[in-house]
Structure 1
Amino acid sequence: MQIITHQKNGIQIAEILSDAIIINSVDDGTQVLNDLYYQGFDAIIIKAGQLAADFFDLKTGLAGDVLQKFSNRRVRLAIIGDFKVVESKSLRDFIFESNKGNLVSFRNSLAEVLDSL
């Protein structure tokens, strides 16, 4: 796993680069959050492919539990992926509602994430 640092409007942003799934469980999400939070990052960017498939199956509760950890710490999380192809209505609604707020967003590209901060 490699971290690229971005700065935007006084916000320190960690972009995680990895070909592996790095969040398979709530504990994994908490570990990533804690590691980067204590390094001074205010926001984290992760690609959808770095998240376990269960993250996108809302019935498992993984997404809700992980995102709650980020919300509690007030650390922004942006997930990059092609969310136009999402078939699940509940997941589409979840993404739509998340994108209305400031803490969690689902975007199509790094540029879109950086523009939204």
Structure 2
Amino acid sequence: MTDVVTERRGVPVLVCGEDGARISGVQDALDVIGSAYQRAEVVAVPVGRLDERFFALRSGLAGEILQKFANYRIRLAVVGDVSAYTTASTAFRDLVRECNRGDRTWFVDDLEALDAHLG
């Protein structure tokens, strides 16, 4: 599946395909933001598209990427199972919990769970 803009609960969402380019740095995130800009309010990125460093908060990659999405006012949904990362890292588990309480970034199991945040 390629990246495609679709409407979910009345909100335009750029749903990124599993087979797309890996998001390994800030420029990769900006490329995705550029694809969504003025076309979508939310970007749904599969867990598998994110570099492993994203899940190691000490690397700073997650913070940089989340900040870029916030700066461009594009909401981010990380879609897929992150339980291995939340089990391994209390800090990452706390990040997921805090993000899911807000309205800018979510970690969801699937697109149907994203719909719950949108509706």
Amino acid at match of 1:110: L
CA contact (8 A) 2:96 2:107 kept: yes
Cα RMSD of the aligned pairs, angstroms, is 1.6
TM-score, scaled to structure 2: 0.89
Runs (5+) with no aligned partner, structure 1? none
Q: Normalising by structure 1, report the TM-score.
A: 0.90
In structure 2, give the amino acid aligned to 1:111: E
Which structure 2 residues correspond to residues 41-60 of structure 1 after superposition, within 5 A? 41-60=40-59
For 1:90, the aligned partner's letter is A
Secondary structure, aligned partner of 1:79: strand
May I ask how many residue pairs the two structures share in their alignment?
Answer: 116
1:97 aligned partner, one-letter code: E
Distance 1:21 1:56 in 2: 17
Check whether the contact 1:15–1:45 (CA below 8 A) recurs between aligned residues: yes
Deviation at 1:9, TM superposition (A): 4.2
Which stretch of structure 1 is more off in the superposition, 28-37 or 97-106? 28-37
Q: What SS is found at the alignment partner of 1:74?
A: coil
Structure 1 residue 110: deviation in Å?
A: 1.1
The code of the aligned residue for 1:109 comes to D
- Offset at residue 21 of structure 1 (A): 4.9
Structure 1 residues 20 and 7: CA distance shift in structure 2, 3 A: closer
- Structure 2 residue runs of 5 or longer lacking an equivalent are none
Secondary structure of the equivalent of 1:55?
helix
> 2: distance between equivalents of 1:56 and 1:62?
8
Q: Structure 2: which amino acid aligns with 1:22?
A: R
Encode CA deviations 1:52-104: one digit per residue, 9 max, x unaligned.
Answer: 00010100100000110101111110001212332200000011011111110
* Larger deviation, residues 82-91 vs 47-56: 82-91
